Structure formats: C-alpha cells, structure tokens
Amino acid sequence: MRANPRQIGLAVAVAVVLAVIVGILLVDSPPDQQPAGGPAATTAPASEQPTSAPATSAPASTRPAELTDGIYTVGTEVAAGTYVTTAGDHPCYWARLRSFGRSDSIIEDDNLEPGESATVRVQSTDKGFKVSNGCRWRAQVAL
C-alpha cells in the first residue's frame, strides 16, 4: 500500500513541527537540580502584607532593585532570597524553576489576582525565577 502525496506532506509537516518543539525545549536546558524540599511561598490578601523577613546573604550586585517580566537565573541574575509583590489591576504569574525549557521545570508557581500579595522564597538550589504579566517583585530585607 502506497501513501498518497497528501499523506506524505502531512507526515512531513507534523515531523517538522515536532522537531521545532523539541529544539525549543532543549535550548539552554542546564542539568536538573532538585530543590531543597518544602513549600517556599505564601499568598495573602494585600491587607496582610509581610513587614519583615531575614535579608538575603547574596551580594547586592546580583539583586536587582526590582524584578519585572522575565526569567532570571538564580545566582547570576537574581540572588536567592525572599521576594514580595502585590498584583496591580490585573492578574500576574510567578514560578520557581528547577531547570529551563522542560515540561517538569516548575518547582512551585501561582497566579495572583488583582490586589493579592505574595511572598516567595527563592532557594539557592533553584535554577530560575519566572515573572510575567506585570507584577513588580522586590527583595525583602530585614528592618
């Protein structure tokens, strides 16, 4: 039984799409590293914003003043430590990552509703911290 040209074209198109998806997932994927266990984030209404927490011991040069939309590499682009935010007029998203570009890379994540606050402890064992949809995260320092 011979495949007709339409079936062959469809098979080639599917193969190309799959190859592109696999290529995207494999780009810049460092080896997996398991996180130190336990939940590291809490979400609370804006009226219950935290007032203080231990300061991070990482050098200030690896701590931007504010994190906005992006994926940050822990240890080079962002220090491990505690970060806080309050969602503005629209929902926003955050995720702690064990790797980049893999389907199982999320250690922990959440979608914040408008006005909702969150405190996230980025661990030194995390590979990345992802922020999207407009939340502005600040490193929390002890008072």
Query: What is the tens place of the pLDDT at every residue in 30-74?
Result: 444 333 334 444 444 443 333 333 334 445 455 567 999 999 999
Which tokens is 65 given?
């003043």
Rg, C-alpha atoms of the chain: 20
Which tokens is 16 given?
């190309």
Q: What CATH topology corresponds to 41-139?
A: Jelly Rolls (2.60.120)
Please name the residues in contact with 22: beta carbons below 8 A apart, sequence gap of 6 or more.
none
pLDDT of residue 141: 73
pTM of the model: 0.57
**How many Å separate Cα 111 from the centre of its chain?**
11
Please name the residues in contact with 100: beta carbons below 8 A apart, sequence gap of 6 or more.
28, 29, 30, 71, 127, 128
> Tens digits of per-residue pLDDT, 9-37?
566 555 554 444 544 444 444 444 333 33
Looking at the DSSP bridge assignments, the partners of residue 14 are none
pLDDT of residue 65: 78
